Structure 1
Amino acid sequence: MKVLSFIVAAALVAVTGASSNSSTLGLLKYDGVALGDWEPAYQKASAFVAGLTTAQKLALITGSSVDSTNGSFTALNILDGDMGLQNYFYVSAFSLSSALAMTWDRDAIYDQAKAVGSEFYNKGMQVVAGPTSQPMGRTPWGGRNVEGFGPDPYLNGQATGLTTKGYVAAGVIPGAKHFILYEQETNRTSMGGGRGSFPGSMGRRAVSSDTGSAPYSSNADDKTLHETYLWPFYDAAKNGMGAVMCAMTKVNDTRSCENSDLLLKHLKTELGFPGFVWPDTMAQNSALESAINGEDYGSSRIWSTSTMETMLSNGSLTETRLNDMVTRNLMGYYYVGLDNGLQPESEAEDAYVNVRGNHSKIIRQNGAKSMALLKNNNALPLNKPRVMSVFGAHAGPVMGGPNQGMNIDGAGPTYQGHLASGTGSAQASYPYLVTPYVSLTNKAVEDGTMMRWIMNDTYTGASSSKLIPESTDSTAVTPSYANYATNADVCLVFLNALSGEGADRTELYNDDQDTMVNTVADNCNNTVVVINTVGPRLVDQWIEHDNVTAVLYGSLLGQESGNSIIDVLYGDVNPSGRLIHTIAKNETDYNVGICYTAQCNFTEGVYLDYRYFDAHNVTPRYPFGHGLSYTTFSYSGLTIKKPSTLSKAPAGNRTVGGYADLWDNVGSVSVEVSNTGSLDGAEVPQLYLGFPASANQPVRQLRGFERIEIAAGKQEKATFELRRRDLSYWDVTAQQWLVAEGTYEVYVGASSRDLRLNGTFTVETS
């Protein structure tokens, strides 16, 4: 079996290619990485590289096409992103990754990724700048949290892995980002140089250098790095990740794209990653340091022919390392089958190449699946209300749209229109946008509902006077929150929160919007609030108001957003979305804010979100994993299949995705879930584990979930398979994933705080 080999020599870390000569193993500094199903891709890549001149190799790693004696290679097209192709006509605008994670639905995550990948493939793109595991959401004020899968490593890892797998199935290369510890926008390009206005990962072949001072450094200990931030990249590597974007910031005081610990030790050795590393915009700085420390693709200006030839001639860059860089740039291409000649050629952005298929249905379904019902005092679902009043700018369209250019530096804090996609690298290209106003109007037509609206967050019309005397019972009134709320059967108030690439959030609630909610609720005894947000949006300014009867909460849903929301409001879809972050009662309840200094120390360790709230007994408003349904569920029959004796450390071969036996199923937990209500619905039972004290772990952490459809009055079984890695912790001294011997606590429930069943199992190690 072929292996990737790693050599350490003096002050240089170099990477050799695989060799069929077993004597190569005698040169290993780190253990070999078994390629497994990547082996055919490696063989093709190696054969191609063998026929290249030095000039051709340099052209290939800087994004140029190559014609050689043994074939041709067309430069890879790299483009954002997980929400669909950016800046293209006739493509779909999908929901953001954070919305997709809120479905807690593995099939939905995979299906959307495959649909996104197919649009890339059919537009002639080879690399998706995604999946976006990080930012994870270390701080709720992070500007780009909407782009990722949330702060829980297990859930994030599941979604990252499934998205990777979906892209591979569509025939395109997954380019996961941002590697690693990139958790805020402030000072991301340079200290004191503003918040930056460069759209990261915009798909350009040329990569800019950083001409300013250095960015901030994210400093995390080894345990934190592994158990939280590196965890999802294991899933990506295991499922076919062919490229990785290194971030524009520093990690432990070394630039991410020049950091041999990150790129060579952790990514390429520990995770066994066989693909290429390319830099985010402005992330490549030094030609030599980026080349020898793990970056494989870069700027033709920084890696100019003269510069690289000089480094080769003086020995600072070895031919072996150059060959490895070229090989890695090719392996993902061969792994996903792009060499079969079947992919359509890329055409101009506005060329009529319609790749959307039936993806509008997937977008609408997944958007509805992602919405979490946080509160419901018998207000929902709606049933042909006689008079319905709609409030808030988020209910309707912007003045000109839908593809209005977003300002990525200082965007927000709210959006004066319906917010359904992100900014910067996360801005989708809408073919159209269905707003809630449009979808509600269609329902009003069907139901004979009288509908009125004020689609503004700060409307200041007269509060009570009518245009004609009240005794005439006329419909003519002066628009105001109070007037339109009075005598309505239901009042729908739409809120959003906006942030994005280039700037962090400045607030977690909004005074204007909250005043609007309270004013409406003061005059309407059935006030339903709908929120679409880029991260945690606090609700305590009005959540206990007696007249706030329901809250529907979600992320950004893409082109079918209005239809998805109204499907849930009217009960065409029974809500099943779950929170991927904790909603606190107060901003001060969160333990991590924005860092404004050059050294950003992750002193909280692994204690993010619910892991922090649980450890410090902080009561949330709505906990991680929370979400209601229009029906009810009960739990019973907890069954635990305990692991047999396990070796303390993994004993398998080092493979793509880490040691092979980390992925072995070693035990399971199952539970019976009954639908005790009158409506069909979906429940998301969640498994949390508490570890033995010797593992030094949080109180409990997610280690399993299943979204299961259950007919009214029926019962279904949910089974959570436990992999070796789910029972492992990172031991800093051993530099290994170890299994702690002792008693593990088992909790199964409907959220991190709504734990219905509990038990234990013991693990013995050898």
Structure 2
Amino acid sequence: MYTVTTLSAFLLVIFSTCQFVSGIAINKRIAVPAGYVAPPYYPTPHGGWISDWSESYRKASLLVSNLTLAEKTNITAGSGIFMGRCVGNTGSALRAGIPQLCLQDGPLGVRNTDHNTAFPAGITVGATWDKDLMHRRGVALGEEFRGKGVNVYLGPSVGPLGRKPRGGRNWEGFGADPVLQAFGGSLTIEGVQSVGVIATIKHLIANEQEMYRMYSLVQPGISSNLDDRTLHELYLWPFAEGVRSGVGAVMMAYNAVNGSANSQNSYIINGLLKDELGFQGFVMSDWLAQISGVASALSGLDMSMPGDVHTIPLLGNSYWMYEQTRSVLNGSLPLDRLNDAVTRILATWFQLGQDQNYPPPNFDTNTQDAEGPLYPGALVSPSGVVNQFVDVQGTHAEVAREIARDAVTLLKNSNNALPLKPNATLKVFGTDAEKNPDGINSCSDQGCNKGTLGMGWGSGSARYPFMDSPIDALNARGASYQFFNTDSFPSNSDPSANDTALVFVTADSGENYITVEGNPGDRTSANLNLWHNCDKLIQDVAAKYSNVIVIIHTVGPVLMEAWIDLPSVKAVLVAHLPGQEAGNSLAQVLFGDVSPSGHLPYTIPTSESNYPASVSLVNFEVGQPQDTFSEGLYIDYRHFNKENITPRYAFGHGLGYTTFSFSNASITSITPLTATPPTRPAKGETPAYSTSIPPASEAYWPDNFNRIWRYLYSWLEKSDADAAAAVANTSAKYPYPDGYSNEQKPGPAAGGAQGGNPALFDTAYDVSVTVTNTGTVSGRAVAQLYVQFPPGITFDTPIIQLRDFEKTDVLEAGASQVLSLRVTRKDLSVWDVVSQNWVVPDVAGDYGVWIGGASDTLGLRCGTQTGSCEEGVASPV
């Protein structure tokens, strides 16, 4: 058995060797295609110039002015992987009353803890098309994270956007459209932060597949290559809305953009996020995504998570902490940049009121035991109570169940096969109908597809407090059923003419550190097919039963052509990823307690060949893999419409047990349009500090300090600190990147407030529409609003683009409700890469404002030029 000393020496030798190999690998590059550039943008804009944040920055600046150098660097980095109760733990400055901050996954619930709610996944929330539910889930998430003592909620996810249908983490977001993502993300942020928890919008940006996303010993992370217009109009759009909602933190993605790693991409962080979008909070790396020290700081990174180097963690090595202290002392890193990073973190802490009565962590993400090591990543660690098992669930199961129910999407319902009769005789097939027989939390981070699929796998998962499975729901209803817990058709099912067969099938995906059934995060083995050969299960059931209902729990689109048109397949429901509330929520729809009201948050194709080749997964390359977004704006329904491809089911599609009409629409001009927005507001004042390098003594180790090996600290040995300070007085200079400057900019024309120029969000047109339940049972409808740009403009634009949506209350048969929607200046603009601003391409042109229940059933058109609306017109697609 290794002793601590010999193991340490061994690991250090391995680390040194791997660092050398890593350097070789990372420096070997494949050229980014011509035209895709990551221009330099320096310096990092100071935070604090937005009036909504000025008081928080004032408070933060008072603290920062009195912190030592080591205290500042301690706040900007994590203490190391597995070095605390939370997945991320910053350093502290206890002398100034600043505690460690606890950062914790994930988007659908508090990860790796107990007595929490496992909420439906983001893709399920998107399928509700319900803004109120989006916000209520955010509030409930915030209450649970606060109740567990988490300062920073690592969600919501709006990137990946869903460009690649087989992308592993699409399910963490809200759908394959920037506006649907934007509402889901911003309303989640507003809900979470309403209870004082810092939300983190992620992953900035263009992180559209799992494989090869990370910089490693073997190769650099994949480079997502995309043009400036596509970046603004698709991928940046939901982040802009999140910043506009006041989000406190932004997490950078692992991958590169146009050849520059996101964690040190000055154009993305400094230029787009902090200057153009006016982001006032702090920017963190994803876990082990930081690949440099000074370079990442200069590019705008404010917090390193979890603090270790990206190559081999857990050896006490860091790009920041003590190295950042050294970098300031030797003059490499301007103190101005460190001061701004610390101020941003503390201002966010104040902005969310966490300086007043905020609870400390009461759980440990590393163990379910009551007692254990305080620093599990250390070879030798003190122990103590690490889990208090605080119940934070409250009544949150109710909102979770409501989301799961209202997301259920009815795709097909021949001969009114649904709803089921109360006395129906059911035969139930498929392992997805019942809980994982090994235990609902038997697979770490849900890294398996056994039993009812409630969420994908990875850091975006959570532990189930319980799982209400479909079988549980049938039992609770006293339904007459026989269950065959297999994904192969059994020989003993004894079909009867009066039977209704329910077939439960799945498609799963997740994060790339876990491979499940040959799928390394992305769906590579399964592609877009159902898992466990369930296409054949459906076919076999349909061959024996005349009334078959297919229920799909899935992370995204699945191919249905092998069985969708079989005469016996009467109905198809997509239940998405319902979390813990998979059973009763579905049963309420199956048995007609409620009419299904979910709508697809993505397109379902007839074949993978329906998609452009550029959205396929990128495979291994020696050097940096290149993923070029050559399809531009044309992803998902935008692509299908452009190429005149009829999908199996269109984006926004969803049936109910009743029908609705859209009528009596009106459009009213609110803010007159101009070709470009009014001049942006000027930046306000920001905190000012001394820029003199502090004395080396501010970095000396405290006397009699008990160090934990592998724990990351910000102090230096006296000799190291003195040596670094001496360098600052020599002619040696840090090789600053091309384009580097320390002179603050007034900001681009497209900026001016959180989210961009505030005039972009002015309402250009108010639109109202009357929705009437024309069927025989009660139900809810979604009014989807799409914009069509005028013909003849010089910009190529998709035929239609989603811009707003609203969902009705439950309407009784014959009842109506007037819904109000809006179209903003930005909704009618395109990004002009020449002027670097949003422009309305034809101020006097007739923009078509289309309203309907799905992207392919738009029969009501309002014209901005005529100011009138018409019903019964031919859909534009």
TM-score normalised per structure 2 = 0.77
1:581 aligns with 2:679: no
The one-letter code sitting in structure 2 at the alignment partner of 1:48 is L
Q: Could you say if the C-alpha distance between residues 304 and 135 of structure 1 is closer, same or farther in structure 2, counting changes exceeding 3 Å? A: closer
Identical positions, percent: 39
Kindly indicate whether the alpha-carbon contact (under 8 Å) linking 1:458 and 1:516 is maintained by their aligned counterparts in 2: yes
- 1:34 is displaced (CA, Å) by 4.0
Q: Distance in 1 between matches of 2:325 and 2:42?
A: 18
Instruction: Tell me if 1:89 matches 2:114.
Output: yes
Q: Structure 1 stretch 152-161 or stretch 399-408: which is displaced more?
A: 399-408
Q: Offset at 1:90?
A: 0.7
Report Cα offsets for 1:568-619 as digits up to 9, x if no partner: 1111121100000000111211222111251110001010100000011000
Aligned to 1:224: 230
Is 1:523 matched up with 2:558? no
Question: Please, which of 334, 351, 369 is the counterpart of residue 335 of structure 1?
Answer: 351
Aligned-pair distance for 1:694? 2.9
Q: Distance in 2 between matches of 1:12 and 1:538?
A: 44
Amino acid of the structure 1 residue aligned with 2:42: V
The residue type equivalent to 1:609 in the other structure is: D
AA in 2 matched with 1:376: N
Deviation at residue 521 of structure 1 after TM alignment: 1.3
Matches within 5 A, 1:251-262: 251-262=257-268
Q: 1:618 to 1:304 in 2, by over 3 A?
A: closer
- The answer to whether residue 618 in structure 2 is matched with residue 595 in structure 1 is yes
Distance 1:532 1:147, change over 3 A: same
Q: CA deviation at 1:307?
A: 2.5
268, 280, 283: which one aligns with 1:277:
283
Change (3 A) 1:668 1:519: same
Cα distance in structure 2, aligned partners of 1:665 and 1:343: 40
Cα–Cα, structure 1 residues 218 and 664, in superposed 2: closer, same or farther, change >3 Å? same
Does the 8 Å CA contact 1:381/1:570 hold for their aligned counterparts? yes
Gapped runs of 5+ residues in structure 2? 1-38, 79-89, 309-316, 366-386, 513-520, 682-751, 868-877
Pick the aligned partner of 2:333 from 307, 317, 323.
317
Per the alignment, do residues 228 and 452 of structure 1 end up closer, same or farther by CA in structure 2, a change over 3 Å counting? same
Give the equivalent residue in structure 2 for 1:420: 454
Separation in 1, partners of 2:162, 2:320: 37
- Conservation of the 8 A alpha-carbon contact between 1:388 and 1:451: yes
| 3-state SS of 2:175 partner | coil
1:742-765 deviation per Cα after TM superposition (whole angstroms, max 9, x unaligned): 22112111111011212322399x
SS at match of 1:244: strand
Provide the C-alpha distance between the structure 2 equivalents of 1:270 and 1:115, rounded to a whole number of angstroms: 31
Structure 1 gap ranges (5+):
1-9, 19-32, 191-209, 464-478
Q: Which of residues 159, 169, 181 is equivalent to 1:144?
A: 169
Quickly say closer, same or farther: Cα 1:553–1:11, change in 2 above 3 A: closer
Paired residue for 1:46? 61
Q: Which residue of 1 aligns with 2:572?
A: 551
Match of 1:501 among 482, 486, 511: 511
Partner of 1:179: 204
Question: How many angstroms does 1:682 deviate by?
Answer: 0.4
Q: Which residue of 2 aligns with 1:25?
A: none
Contact 1:12 1:292 in 2 (8 A): no
CA spacing shift, 1:249–1:453, aligned 2, 3 Å: same
Deviations 1:639-698 (A, max 9, x none): 121355322222242012211111111212221111011211100011111113334210
Query: Contact conserved, 1:632 with 1:677, CA < 8 A, in 2?
Result: yes
1:15 matched residue in structure 2:
44
- Aligned: 1:661 with 2:759: yes
SS of match in other structure, 1:670 = strand
CA shift, 1:397, in A, is 1.5
From 429, 434, 438, the counterpart of 2:472? 438
Whether the 8 Å contact between 1:218 and 1:599 is mirrored in structure 2 is yes
- SS of residue matched to 1:706: strand
Code of the residue aligned with 2:799 in structure 1: it is V
In structure 1, C-alpha distance between the alignment counterparts of 2:653 and 2:140, rounded to whole Å: 28
Q: Does 1:756 align with 2:859?
A: yes
SS at match of 2:664: strand
8 Å Cα contact 1:579/1:625 also seen in 2? yes
Q: Distance in 2 between matches of 1:12 and 1:120?
A: 35
Checking the alignment, whether the CA contact within 8 Å between 1:115 and 1:170 is kept in structure 2 is no
1:308 paired to 2:324: yes
1:404 corresponds to which of 442, 460, 476: 442
What is aligned with 2:394?
357
Aligned mates of 1:341, 1:79 — CA distance in 2: 19
Greater mean deviation of Cα atoms: 179-188 or 692-701: 692-701
The correspondence of residues 317-716 of structure 1 with structure 2, limited to 5 A, is 317-343=333-359, 345-348=361-364, 350-377=387-414, 378-406=416-444, 415-443=449-477, 445=478, 449-459=479-489, 461=490, 463=491, 479-480=492-493, 483=494, 485-502=495-512, 503-506=521-524, 507-510=527-530, 512-591=533-612, 592-596=615-619, 597=621, 598-642=625-669, 644-651=671-678, 652-653=680-681, 654-692=752-790, 693-709=793-809, 710-716=811-817
Residues 665/422 of structure 1: CA separation in 2 closer, same or farther (3 Å cut): same
Q: Distance in 2 between matches of 1:497 and 1:282?
A: 29
Query: Relative to structure 1, is the Cα distance of residues 59 and 718 closer, same or farther in structure 2, using a 3 angstrom cutoff?
Result: same
The number of aligned residues is 693
Residues in 2 aligned to 1:407 and 1:344: alpha-carbon distance in whole angstroms: 24
1:135-172 C-alpha deviation (Å, 9 max, x unpaired): 11111111111111112111111111101111111210
What CA RMSD, in Å, does the superposition of the two structures yield over aligned residues? 2.0
The verdict on how the C-alpha distance between 1:56 and 1:34 changes in structure 2, with shifts beyond 3 A counting, is closer
The amino acid of 2:188's aligned partner reads: T
Q: Which residue of 2 aligns with 1:205?
A: none
SS of residue paired to 2:846: strand
Deviates more, 1:433-442 or 1:124-133: 433-442
SS, match of residue 639 in structure 1: strand
CA distance in 2, matches of 1:281, 1:82: 15
On the 8 A contact 1:750/1:756 being kept in 2, the answer is: no
Give 1:471's aligned residue: none
Tell whether the 8 Å contact from 2:105 to 2:153 is kept in structure 1 after alignment.
yes
Alignment deviations for residues 472-501 of structure 1 (CA, whole Å, 9 cap, x no partner): xxxxxxx24xx2x43343110001101110
TM-superposed deviation, 1:435: 0.8
Match of 1:35 in 2: 50
Separation (CA, whole Å) in 1 of partners of 2:93 and 2:639: 55
Secondary structure, aligned partner of 1:403: coil
Q: CA deviation at 1:259?
A: 0.2
Return closer, same or farther for 1:12/1:621 CA change in 2, 3 Å cut-off: closer
* SS class of match (2:813): coil
Paired residues of 1:246 and 1:280 also in contact (CA < 8 A): yes
Residue 174 of structure 1 aligns to a residue whose secondary structure is strand
Letter of the 1:504 counterpart: D
- In structure 2, the CA distance between the partners of 1:579 and 1:605, relative to structure 1 (3 Å rule), is same
TM-score scaled by length of structure 1: 0.88
Match of 1:737 among 838, 861, 864: 838
Per-residue deviation, 1:288: 1.4
Aligned to 2:700: none
Question: Structure 1 residue 234: deviation in Å?
Answer: 0.8
Local SS of the residue matching 1:13? coil
Offset at residue 711 of structure 1 (A): 2.1
Q: Tell me if structure 2 keeps the 8 A contact 1:645–1:763.
A: no
Q: What per-residue deviation string (whole Å, max 9, x for no partner) do you get for residues 198-243 of structure 1?
A: xxxxxxxxxxxx4442111000000010000000001110112111
> How far apart are residue 344 of structure 1 and its match?
5.2
Q: Report the Cα distance in structure 2 between the residues aligned to 1:740 and 1:386, rounded to whole angstroms.
A: 58
1:468 counterpart residue number: none
Using CA pairs below 8 Å that are at least 6 residues apart, which structure has the higher relative contact order? 2
**Structure 1's 290 and 450: CA in aligned 2 closer, same or farther, altered over 3 A?**
same
